[in-house]
Amino acid sequence: MTELAPYAVAGHNSRGRKIAEEAPQGRSEFQRDRDRIIHSGAFRRLEYKTQVFVNHEGDLFRTRLTHSIEVAQIARSIARSLRLNEDLAEGISLAHDLGHTPFGHAGQEALNDCMKGYGGFEHNLQSLRVVDMLEERYAAFDGLNLCFETREGILKHCSADNAARLGEVGERFLKNRRPSLEAQVANLADEIAYNNHDVDDGLRSGLITLEQLEAVPLVATQLSEARRAYPALPERRVVHETVRRMIGALVTDLIRQSESNIDSHSPATLDDVRSAPALIAYSAEMNEQQRTLKNFLRIHLYRHYRVLRMSTKARRIISDLFGIFMADSRLLPPQFQSQAEHDRARAVADYIAGMTDRYAIREHRRIFAVEELV
């Protein structure tokens, strides 16, 4: 294995865990973090949480689980090329969506609306709550007791108020400092993964078409190259060939531009990385192209009437559940009751955020369907 860059996160420059533990045997601290994430309950629930398409719409669409695995794959490739800590980039990627509500962004917005007046709801912050507190798997501590750098990477965004409350892990938002390069890589790998798999899923669902996508330069370039190289290829394989080339183009550009940014800022240590501007970035041209694709997806896919219908239903389910548990916390499962005694809204939000799509639908039916008596 090639040696890590001096500014990469490693055991020797890590700020460590909140609760000190013995060093792991036969694996690094960051491998241990990744392994703890994979063994968590919240990770398994990602399988039944919507990315864009609800789970029962088809078996081939991405779920939050397959999305997270794709993010990890892309982040690892980039991290390895840049001699960064691949295990850390992988761990952050696998954990980044652990706090997501059921029903994708519609669910997050609905829960945030319900939580106005109770401190709001933000999925990044919730992911951190999951790994810091909500997982109950270890005898010696609540949560997963992950290393600082893994937790810092999970907390992508944060308001100033929340940052002040969070202590060390929130500090960079108040001091305008950057997280590790591994965290920056995981963040951009997330974007590369969803932009590309949403093109693929969008086409498969028929909500968007290749003809429409020809107006998007990033797609058009790779599409025409794929068609030129394989003129007789069936349409579905043209799509796969185009998407894989798009991922390749984005990853290659990101690596090249980041190498050049690292060269010109020449950080010597992890601390230099934190005080430098964001060094993991696309070239200006590629940045423009990927923004155009993002805009296209927002207008034509995320706001498609069929997606919006699903969002409306999701909002109804979440606000109904929130309302009924706030009105009578005795309806909550026992493990949330004691938390509800001192902070009812947060207990309800934790319960709802942890639900999978199908669990939320069933819970709604159990409570509101009059024909069901249990």
Query: Contact residues for Mg ion (CB under 5 A)?
Result: 97, 190
Rg, Å, the chain Cα set: 22
Q: How far is the CB of 124 from Mg ion (least distance, A)?
A: 10
Q: Where are the beta strands (DSSP E) in 126-173?
A: none
Nearer to Mg ion, 10 or 199 (CB): 199
Widest CA span in the chain: 67
Give me the helix-helix angle, 235-265 and 64-81, nearest 10°: 40
Nearer to Mg ion, 152 or 363 (CB): 152
Q: Where are the beta strands (DSSP E) in 26-147?
A: none
Q: How far is the CB of 228 from Mg ion (least distance, A)?
A: 33
Q: Is the dihedral of CA 44, 45, 48, 49 positive or negative?
A: negative
Q: How far is the CB of 64 from Mg ion (least distance, A)?
A: 7
Asked if 311 contacts 107 with a C-beta cutoff of 8 angstroms, the reply is no
Nearer to Mg ion, 97 or 135 (CB): 97
Ramachandran angles phi, psi of 315, nearest 5°: -60, -40
Nearer to Mg ion, 29 or 198 (CB): 198
Nearer to Mg ion, 88 or 270 (CB): 88
301: nearest Cα among 205, 194, 208, 197: 208
- CA dist 258 and 278 (Å) reads 9
End-to-end CA, the chain: 57
SS3 82: coil
In order of 110, 139, 216, the CA distances from 64 in angstroms are: 18, 28, 26
Nearer to Mg ion, 52 or 270 (CB): 52
Q: How far is the CB of 11 from Mg ion (least distance, A)?
A: 27
- CA dist 107 and 55 (Å) reads 14
- CA dist 12 and 22 (Å) reads 15
Q: How far is the CB of 271 from Mg ion (least distance, A)?
A: 28
Residue nearest Mg ion by beta-carbon distance:
190
Nearer to Mg ion, 72 or 262 (CB): 72
Q: How far is the CB of 100 from Mg ion (least distance, A)?
A: 8
Q: How far is the CB of 194 from Mg ion (least distance, A)?
A: 6
Contacts of 360 (CB under 8 A, 6+ apart): 102, 103, 317, 318, 321, 352
Q: How far is the CB of 68 from Mg ion (least distance, A)?
A: 7
Nearer to Mg ion, 104 or 143 (CB): 104
How does DSSP classify residue 167?
G
- CA dist 315 and 310 (Å) reads 9
Nearer to Mg ion, 223 or 353 (CB): 353
Q: How far is the CB of 212 from Mg ion (least distance, A)?
A: 24
